[in-house]
Every structure is written in structure tokens, then in C-alpha cells.
């Protein structure tokens, strides 16, 4: 038997989440069974714990889009019992049962080995949000971002992606400007390494002029919407914006002029079906570049029982930093 957060749908189409014990033979198909030690809470998890957001097709469902743990049984030669592994993406926790359970069974292709220097707890303090922040930093670097070229803007800075992005960029020697709608988090963001706090209301408004002063050397954007459109016109010549999220919505009422006159780049960041080599590289960079004491300052521990309430909170932008789910 294993304990899990199970979401069920009633005859009126309403979903209900609660902790249950399930027999091992209910685990889905897959080559590797993992004893999950930690999972985490991401924006998508909020959707999947709650009404589904179109991501969950079948009920009963076990959410949890990421986990870290130890291999218990494996039919794949790449993994053996006792190996420590990380899973992010591949629609686990959406279409496939996920990490809010003491056991998960997944395809071997979806896993990566735990990098040297990182524990399962640290890996899930980072989680999908932090992993995606690292992918964004790598994308900006590949498009020429270097320390000393100007401030890098991080939007949705108190959230999971934003907190890890802030700490990573600061550690790599960048000046970080953090956008937040919660001014009470200014001290937290400065402790993570932000040197400038930008109030969300200053920047989250419709584009009036397609080009504004060249201000930001780059941007990691977890928010989308009007903010993304506006920031494109504030990037320095040749600067890039890594588009990660849609906390403010999927539309961006923008203008092509910044692309044409300033040669700026809009970089799409996908963490879900990312090739294996990219995932391994990003986790190795996290082990190398993320200051672990700053990571610890982002962590709010939680249990499976806490998740229904926390899931609703993250959808309202109410979670700060990273929620670490202690599964065992």
C-alpha cells in the first residue's frame, strides 16, 4: 500500500482532493518504480489539485508534476534499485499519476539521475519552477547575456520561478531588478540578491510607446500578459526575454517594433518535453550555481494533507518562494 493525494470527480463534475491509501497494483504502467521522498507545489499543481484546468483527463487522479526519490524497482538498464532520481515534466501529474504519493511509476526516459552535490530535498526545493528558471538563464546566456551589461528583470519575482531566477542571476554576477505586486516581499527578494525592486503597477500596463528607454539587459518573465509586451520595448539593443509563464494571462498585446529596431529576442522556455541532455545540463548547473543557503530561505515545508489549501493559494498568487512537500 502507498499513501497519496487523490483527486476524484463527483457526479456534478466537482473535484475533491484528499489523502488515501492505495494498493501498489493501482500504480500506472512504466519501467521504473520510485519511492518518492519529496515533491513540490507549482502553479500547474494548483490547477491539477483543483478543477484540473483542462490538464487532467481521467479521474481518480494523483497530481504532482515533479518528484525526487529512490528507485525501488526498474525494468530499464539505466536505473537500478537505490539510485537517486529526479522527475520533471512529461505531463506527469497531469495525464499520468504524479509525485503526490509515496510511490510513483514512470517511464525511464522521463527521469534524470540526481546530480553530484544535490540532495533529493534540495532538488525538490528547486522543483520544476527552479529548473525552468535555470533553463531560462541558460537560454539568455546562449543569446549573449553577460554580467556587467545591465540589470536583468525578473517578473513574478516572489513566486517559485522568480525566486530561483533572482538567486541564480545574482550568484552569477548579474544586477537583478525584481518585479513584485507584493511590496512586503522586498526584503525577501533583496536577501535573494535583487538590487532593485520594481512595483508591478509600474510595468503591468498596456504598451503606449513601442520603444521606451533601453533599460534591461535581459528578462525572465513568469507573468506574460501586458507586462511581457511592455518589457520587450524596454530591453537594451539585442537583449532577450525568456518567456516562461502566464501568471497574468496567455495574451500579450505587443508590438513588433522592438524586434525590428532593437533586434531583441523573445525566447520560449519549455520544461515539459525538454530533451534529456538539456535536463541533465540544467540540473548540473543548479548544483553548481545555486547558493543553497538562499534556496533554504525560499522553502516552506508542507505535507500531502496541506496541499488542497496550498493549491488554491498558488492559483491566487498567494504563495511565496517554494513549497517543499515532504512525502515520506
Interface contacts to ligand NDP, rule CB under 6 A: 42-44, 128-129, 132, 156-162, 180-182, 185, 200, 204, 222-223, 244-248, 269-272, 314, 317, 319
Q: Which is nearer to ligand NDP, 181 or 291 (CB)?
A: 181
CB of 167 to ligand NDP, least distance (A): 13
CB of 153 to ligand NDP, least distance (A): 12
Rounded Cα–Cα distance for residues 242 and 258 (Å) = 15
**DSSP letter assigned to residue 114:** P
CB of 244 to ligand NDP, least distance (A): 5
CB of 222 to ligand NDP, least distance (A): 4
- Report the chain's terminal Cα–Cα distance, integer Å: 13
> For residue 226, what is its C-alpha cell?
501586458
My answer on whether omega of the bond before 133 falls inside 30° of 0, hence cis, is no
Q: Which is nearer to ligand NDP, 150 or 159 (CB)?
A: 159
> For residue 237, what is its C-alpha cell?
539593443
| CA-closest candidate to residue 124, choices 90, 89, 88, 92 | 88
Cβ-based neighbour number of residue 280 at 10 Å: 14
CB of 287 to ligand NDP, least distance (A): 19
Q: Which is nearer to ligand NDP, 22 or 290 (CB)?
A: 290
Find cell 552535490 and name the residue: 117
Query: Is residue 251 within 8 Å of 276, Cβ to Cβ?
Result: no
Q: Which is nearer to ligand NDP, 229 or 314 (CB)?
A: 314
Torsion of CA 29, 35, 38, 40, to 10 degrees: 10
Q: Which is nearer to ligand NDP, 230 or 262 (CB)?
A: 230
CB of 237 to ligand NDP, least distance (A): 26
**DSSP letter assigned to residue 24:** G
> For residue 3, what is its C-alpha cell?
499513501
Rounded Cα–Cα distance for residues 327 and 63 (Å) = 13
Q: Which is nearer to ligand NDP, 14 or 316 (CB)?
A: 316
| CA-closest candidate to residue 70, choices 28, 118, 31, 104 | 104
CB of 173 to ligand NDP, least distance (A): 23
Find cell 536583468 and name the residue: 152
Q: Which is nearer to ligand NDP, 114 or 319 (CB)?
A: 319
CB of 121 to ligand NDP, least distance (A): 18
Q: Which residue is nearest to ligand NDP (CB)?
A: 159
Q: Which is nearer to ligand NDP, 114 or 298 (CB)?
A: 298
- Cβ neighbors of 168 (< 8 A, separation 6 or more) are 133, 134, 137, 289, 290
Amino acid at each position: 500500500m502507498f499513501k497519496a493525494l487523490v483527486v476524484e470527480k463527483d457526479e456534478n463534475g466537482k473535484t475533491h482532493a484528499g489523502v488515501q491509501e492505495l494498493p501498489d497494483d493501482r500504480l500506472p504502467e512504466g519501467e521504473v518504480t520510485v519511492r518518492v521522498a519529496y515533491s513540490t507545489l507549482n502553479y500547474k499543481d494548483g490547477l491539477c489539485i483543483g478543477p484540473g484546468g483542462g490538464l487532467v483527463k481521467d479521474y481518480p487522479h494523483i497530481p504532482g508534476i515533479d518528484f525526487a526519490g529512490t528507485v525501488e524497482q526498474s525494468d530499464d538498464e539505466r536505473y537500478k534499485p537505490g539510485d537517486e532520481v529526479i522527475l520533471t515534466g512529461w505531463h506527469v501529474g497531469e495525464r499520468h499519476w504524479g509525485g503526490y504519493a509515496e510511490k510513483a511509476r514512470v517511464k525511464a526516459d522521463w527521469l534524470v539521475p540526481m546530480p553530484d552535490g544535490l540532495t533529493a530535498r534540495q532538488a525538490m526545493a528547486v522543483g520544476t519552477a527552479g529548473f525552468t528558471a535555470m533553463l531560462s538563464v541558460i537560454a539568455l546566456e546562449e543569446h549573449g547575456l553577460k554580467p556587467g551589461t545591465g540589470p536583468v528583470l525578473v517578473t513574478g519575482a516572489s513566486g517559485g520561478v522568480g525566486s530561483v531566477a533572482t538567486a541564480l542571476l545574482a550568484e552569477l554576477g548579474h544586477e537583478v531588478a525584481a518585479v513584485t505586486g507584493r511590496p512586503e516581499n522586498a526584503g525577501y527578494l533583496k536577501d535573494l540578491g535583487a538590487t532593485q525592486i520594481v512595483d508591478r503597477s509600474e510595468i503591468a500596463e498596456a504598451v503606449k510607446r513601442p520603444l521606451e528607454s533601453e533599460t534591461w539587459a535581459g528578462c525572465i518573465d513568469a507573468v506574460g500578459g501586458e507586462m511581457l509586451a511592455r518589457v520587450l520595448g524596454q530591453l537594451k539593443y539585442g537583449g532577450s526575454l525568456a518567456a516562461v509563464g502566464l501568471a497574468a494571462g496567455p495574451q500579450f498585446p505587443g508590438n513588433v517594433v522592438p524586434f525590428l529596431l532593437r533586434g531583441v529576442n523573445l525566447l520560449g522556455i519549455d520544461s515539459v518535453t525538454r530533451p534529456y541532455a538539456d535536463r541533465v545540463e540544467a540540473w548540473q548547473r543548479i548544483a553548481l550555481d545555486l547558493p543553497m543557503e538562499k534556496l533554504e530561505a525560499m522553502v516552506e515545508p508542507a505535507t500531502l494533507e496541506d496541499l488542497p489549501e496550498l493549491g488554491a493559494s498558488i492559483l491566487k498568487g498567494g504563495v511565496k518562494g517554494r513549497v517543499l512537500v515532504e512525502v515520506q
